[in-house]
Amino acid sequence: MHKLHDQDAPRADTITFDDFLKIDVRVGTIVRAESFPEARKPAYKLTIDFGPAIGTKRSSAQITTHYRLEDLIGRQVAAVVNFPPRQIGPFMSEVLTLGFPDEGGEVVLIGPSVGVPNGGQLY
């Protein structure tokens, strides 16, 4: 997870609905969570199941402030699944797990409030 924006950032440029459709945001269930001591900033390595069409993907997420490894297993999260993979130290992050900043700028994960099938697309 990357801190791309903060709460004081200006609103992004207006886009078209077709632009929105280019971003493939899916829901998945965290099936494995590991520490990532090699990361420059505290982070976890997540393995997320996005269902049969997409499969299992990995993500680096800077979520150590609010989440313990053992509490992440089984949690559903939203992620962008169509960015190119990104090398983060020795780890290849395949999806961007999404969250919002809390008052201190620390990441709070977003996901459905009720369980949904893995692989569901945001609309």
**pLDDT range class, residue 2, cuts 50, 70, 90:** very low
Residue 9 lies in a domain: no
103 domain residue, yes or no:
yes
Number of domains in the chain: 1
Looking at the domain assignment, is residue 2 inside a domain?
Answer: no
3 in a domain, yes or no? no
Q: Any bridge partners for residue 28, and if so which?
A: 77
Nearest Cα to 72, choosing from 55, 91, 59?
59
Question: Is pLDDT of 103 > 70?
Answer: yes
Condensed to tens digits (0 to 9), the pLDDT of residues 25-79 reads: 999 999 999 999 999 999 999 999 999 999 999 999 999 999 999 999 999 999 9
> Which residue range forms the structural domain that includes residue 48?
17-109
The answer to whether residue 59 sits within a structural domain is: yes
Q: Is 78 helix (H, G, I), strand (E, B) or coil?
A: strand
| β partners of residue 33 | 46
What's the CATH code of the domain at 73? 2.40.50.140
In a domain, 11, yes or no: no
| Predicted structure pTM score | 0.90
Q: Is residue 10 part of a domain?
A: no
Quick check: helix, strand or coil at residue 49?
strand
Q: 8 in a domain, yes or no?
A: no
Q: Give strand pairing partners of 78.
A: 27
